[in-house]
Structure 1
Amino acid sequence: MSAKEYIVSKILNNNVILAVDYKTRQELILIGKGIGFGKKEGRKVNIHIKDVEKSFIAYDEKTKKEYLQLINQLDSNVMGVSEEIIAMAEKQLGQLSSHIHIALTDHIGFAIDRIKMGLEINNPFLYEIRALYPEEYKAGLLAAEVIKGRLNVTISESEVGFIALHFHSARQNKRVTETMKDTRLLKEIIDMIQRELSVSIDNRDLMYTRLINHLRVTLNRLDEKKYIENPLLSNIKEQFKESYRISQKIGEYIEEKKHINITEDELGYLALHIERIKETSKIISRRVTELYQA
């Protein structure tokens, strides 16, 4: 079969339409270059299979009402661009939760309105997002290119970071608020370490990336109730007393925020990271002193 019959429900842009499969009566998003050009809403059309780059259901029955409300509220071009971005992201990141069609589309529409009004917002977790979710951040950069190319709107790095959060949440089948909460917690933990050690960790440094990724993996393990053993625990507690004390303080903070138990084994591994930061900071400080004394 070279073509299928559809009823065109909504033309989102020249490349994206909302349509109903004439035989199955299933509502679909169809994406393909020029697929919406010259089409009329409410009409039956024949569309060649080769012209459809991607077709999918944009929502489940639970979210259908929200999606249809968005279609009525948002500019069709914004809807179309958002669907192109989601399709592109799925090629890079794999299957995303169906809720992204509502959450990300709504976010992009709101972001574009804000930018047009000159109301830019700052993303306080930008560096953490880049370090924690590099694949999603790359997809966010491509999304920015699509928005610029299709809508002639330039979005900031802060907005790229927020889009990356939406991608990560959809990969994990979580709400963006949950992902934001975890990202905020990780930033707070790093701030605690910096205060306790009286150091400043460069967020572009490999040490920073290692630390934040270790913390992310640790929290994921604890969320999933997966526990690991630390054969070096007794040595760590004895040799790195200050670092272990700081890790205990952080453990108490995590327990308070997430209501999960942090094992001593996990605290031992965290203490090793803290010790490395402490020793590296001492070396850097010594070198700076020597430089000024020279």
Structure 2
Amino acid sequence: MRAKKEYLITKSLNNNVVIAIDETSKEEVVLVGKGIGFGKKDGKRVRLGEDEIEKSFSAFDEKTKLKYNQLVKDINRKVIGLTEEIIALAERELGPLNSNIHVALADHIGFALDRIKMGLTINNPFIYEIKALYPNEYGLGERAAEIIKDGLGILISESEIGFIALHIHSARQSKMVIETIKDTKFLKSLVNIIEEELSVKLDNSGLIYSRVINHLRASINRMEKGKYIENPLLDIIKERFSASYDIAKKIGVYINKEKNIFITDDEIGYMALHIERIKETTNYETKRVTD
């Protein structure tokens, strides 16, 4: 039989989440587990075994702890509880997340639900890019929407699901959400260059769009880390697909200007192949624009 530990519940957030004091370490912890908060009132002492606790979180620095405690005072406890369930789900699927997500995501969801209650909608201009670039995080955003619906009876929009995905991805990368948004916006601007050069409009929910934007992200990531790949087809690409190669060079110049990252000829060659594929699939020769 596994030993149980004693906890003093300071705040019961919902049936599955409590904030408690570990009576052994005297640390304040967030505990997530099925039914551990059911019928529990603030100030109650409970004994819980490891098998009853799905997630235990105590890695707050003092600054984050102050923000979290203020958030618990300002936001409906149920919202905090549901957020912790979402974070526990995300960490189970993706691994550890930056501790700032406990404050940032709860704050975002609380504000989003307030907007919904007031009948205010917000558009997410990067929803297709988020789906293409961060499919795992978007999938978790969809599951978060189900948790919110089941817990509060409130439906959140596709745009809000996208914002939750951004928060999860940012926490995976230990970035601020605004940085992730900037990165996403930048990648979208690179695709815009291709569209303008070819006078086409890509279906941003389609496979071609997903492929090219993910390739651009991977290429930039490699260059940022100083990882270089060889393109054995480079000379052939330059000769056979010279127009696409010229467009790819323009993208390389733009990346260098905006991010101070030098894109090698080998990488430009791979970009050119993607551009050539776009030309073929969008019927470029007749300048057909697809919606």
Q: TM-score, normalised by structure 2?
A: 0.92
Instruction: Kindly provide the amino acid, as one letter, of the partner of residue 37 in structure 2.
Output: G
Identity %: 59
Partners in 1 of 2:231 and 2:69 — Cα distance?
Answer: 52
Partners in 1 of 2:45 and 2:87 — Cα distance?
Answer: 26
Match status 1:78 vs 2:79: yes
Verify the 8 A CA contact 1:29 1:56 in the aligned structure 2: yes
1:206 CA displacement: 1.7
What is the correspondence of 1:37-48 to structure 2 with a 5 Å cutoff? 37-48=38-49
Q: Which residue of 2 aligns with 1:262?
A: 263
Verify the 8 A CA contact 1:59 1:101 in the aligned structure 2: no
Structure 2 regions of 5+ residues with no counterpart?
Answer: none
| RMSD of aligned alpha carbons | 2.0
Partners in 2 of 1:267 and 1:59 — Cα distance?
Answer: 44
Match status 1:188 vs 2:189: yes
1:91 CA displacement: 1.5
Q: Which residue of 2 aligns with 1:203?
A: 204
Q: Which residue of 1 aligns with 2:106?
A: 105
What is the correspondence of 1:18-33 to structure 2 with a 5 Å cutoff? 18-33=19-34
Alignment size in residue pairs? 288
Secondary structure, aligned partner of 1:63: helix
1:176 CA displacement: 1.2
Partners in 2 of 1:96 and 1:72 — Cα distance?
Answer: 24
Q: Which residue of 2 aligns with 1:8?
A: 9
Q: Which residue of 2 aligns with 1:116?
A: 117
Q: TM-score, normalised by structure 1?
A: 0.92
Partners in 2 of 1:107 and 1:4 — Cα distance?
Answer: 33
Q: Which residue of 1 aligns with 2:164?
A: 163
Secondary structure, aligned partner of 1:275: helix
1:44 CA displacement: 3.1
1:159 CA displacement: 0.7
Structure 2 CA distance for partners of 1:206 and 1:22, relative to 1, 3 Å: same
Secondary structure, aligned partner of 1:4: strand
Verify the 8 A CA contact 2:198 2:284 in the aligned structure 1: no
Post-superposition, which runs of at least 4 consecutive aligned residues in structure 1 deviate over 4 A? 283-288
Verify the 8 A CA contact 1:82 1:104 in the aligned structure 2: yes
Verify the 8 A CA contact 1:244 1:271 in the aligned structure 2: yes
1:39 CA displacement: 2.4
Structure 1 regions of 5+ residues with no counterpart?
Answer: 289-294
Structure 2 CA distance for partners of 1:269 and 1:13, relative to 1, 3 Å: same
Verify the 8 A CA contact 1:29 1:58 in the aligned structure 2: no
Q: Which residue of 1 aligns with 2:97?
A: 96
Higher alpha-carbon deviation: 52-61 or 132-141: 52-61
Instruction: Kindly provide the amino acid, as one letter, of the partner of residue 259 in structure 1.
Output: N
1:54 CA displacement: 2.3
Partners in 1 of 2:216 and 2:20 — Cα distance?
Answer: 45
Verify the 8 A CA contact 1:123 1:159 in the aligned structure 2: yes
Q: Which residue of 2 aligns with 1:217?
A: 218
